[in-house]
A and B are shown apart, each in its own frame.
Chain A
Amino acid sequence: MDLIIPTISQGLLWSVMSIGVYLTFRVLDIADLTVEGSFPLGGAVAAALLTAGYNPITAILIACVAGMLSGVVTGFLHTKLKIPALLAGILSMIALYSVNLRIMGKANLSLLQLDTIFTIFPIPLDNQMMVLLVGFVIVLVVGIINYWFFGTEIGAAIRATGFNQHMIRANGVNTNTTIILGLLMSNGLVAVSGALVAQSNGFADVGMGVGTIVIGLASVIIGEVLFGTKSFRNCLISVVLGSIVYRIVIAIVLQIGMPPNDLKLFTAVLVTLALSMPLFKAKLNDKRRRMAR
């Protein structure tokens, strides 16, 4: 029972990343692997800045800008250099590994003695509740910003780009610009999430991004299945709840006794099952129809 609060908090901190993955995977219809690099990038930038004595809020904002830049790089590779999106993301991800090492100066930076976003507010709450509160406030702000942005003319053009590039070009929109903007938004959020997770863990590690995309996809799909996709706002809420449910599932299987080393395998199998659901459903329907005949 005492695991409930930290589990939900982790879900909230990681949900910012999941919203980023949602923006590329569902809104832009691109599987963007940059996130595997921009997540630790956020952690690295925030850790380096905190170590240098910067305020945690400044550190998170600069981490966000760094993440946005990494998204722009991927967008440039994809739209201007015509490299397939998947490969463009892989190139950014690999490049960011070196960049992250350079930013931190070593593979792991500890934040244990430093002030973080979870310790600077003079609110009389214990550490656990503080992470929950800060996580909730940040997710709320991120959600509102996204809901607003994707409702504007520019945001609507980005959404339309994901649905139908022919249509939005015929309506006078440069799809290179909208794709780059979408990747910028996405990776900015992923980096913020990386910065938050690093501060909550008490360290940033160059390997902390491994499997980010799969965790993001798991959250997106779990959220969609359990909480619906009626509107853009519904989708945003679903992704956040999906991220929390994912953390609860992980906490449960660990409690049951699954070795932590098997977590990534477990998540990959989970996402594989979820992604192949439509196929199984179609086959099942087909069978039923034949039986009915």
Chain B
Amino acid sequence: MLRVENISKTFNPGTITEKSALNDVSLHLLPGDFVTVIGGNGAGKSTLMNSIAGTFIVDTGKIIIDGNDITKWPEHKRAKFIGRVFQDPMMGTAAGMMIEENLAIASRRGKALSFRWSAPKSERENFRVLLKSLNLGLEDRLESKVGLLSGGQRQALTLLMATMANPKLLLLDEHTAALDPKTAEKVLAITDNIISSRKLTTLMITHNMRDALRFGNRLIMMYNGKIIVDVNGDAKKNLEVQDLLEMFEKASGNEIDSDRMLLN
């Protein structure tokens, strides 16, 4: 479904702040793969995700989704295949527009826009059913502005928006990191529910090792712009946090340097 071949990215090349963020990374996702991504700060997790989403164009290598070489495509064109939820709950929705209007925009992702009415009444029932599945009471608030929702509600709504037009690939960039633990747990449960019921091919960055182990069928660990650990299927099921730490030390020749990773 997703084929990332030998991509590299260096930020600010030739300057004093030069930073090699991705170093010859390759990754191949099968349809339905749910991959969790862990790694310390600056390991390249977000850079990997942003290079797939098209926030910038990679220096070398190829990115192929479902047979389409999207390496040089601009961000908005890739959105046809990719659903995204950001870390910042503010980033995935338009705060000043109604829930209904946000959903209407998301339902047309990847389609050419026209002069048809953007949020026709005929779609309301469908939106209500979708919102009801979140179990947050949003189904009765179609005309509320999204800015009035809590961070957790906004992330759940963004998740719904990212998945409603059937993306070939779902990208979750620490989408629960800005939420309180209880809300984060709830959004993760919704996430897992949507992904498993629809068999969505997914990349999920998390800084929480237990979440990385609990969810998905495959786990990759990044360090210094490279993928240093890649475990799949049963091997992943039997892993524990301690194993991950040992694998990290062995693969990187280093102790875990991120307190944030350890504390979680």
Q: Could you list which residues of chain A lie within 8 angstroms of chain B, going by C-beta atoms? A: 149, 151-157, 159-160, 162-164, 166-175
Contact = CB atoms under 8 A, between A and B. Distances in A.
Contacts of A174: 74, 76-77
A171 B109 contact: yes
Interface string B55-78: 000000000000000000011110
The binding surface of chain B is classed by DSSP as loop
B118 A152 contact: yes
B161 to A, nearest CB: 7
A175 B76 contact: yes
Interface residues of B, number: 37
B104 A156 contact: yes
Contact of B117 (A151, A162, A171): A151
Interface string B174-207: 0000000000000000000000000000000000
A72 B96 CA distance: 26
B228 interface: no
Interface string B93-105: 1111100011011
User: Which 4 A/B pairs are nearest by Cβ-Cβ distance?
Assistant: A172-B79, A156-B118, A163-B94, A153-B113
Given A157-B105, A173-B113, 19 more contacts: A151-B119, A152-B115, A154-B115, A155-B118, A160-B105, A162-B96, A163-B94, A163-B96, A166-B91, A166-B92, A169-B79, A170-B84, A170-B92, A171-B105, A171-B106, A171-B108, A172-B76, A172-B80, A173-B79
26 contacts: A152-B113, A152-B115, A153-B113, A153-B115, A153-B117, A153-B118, A154-B113, A154-B115, A156-B97, A156-B105, A156-B118, A156-B119, A159-B94, A160-B97, A160-B101, A162-B96, A164-B90, A164-B91, A167-B94, A170-B75, A170-B82, A170-B92, A172-B80, A172-B110, A173-B113, A174-B76
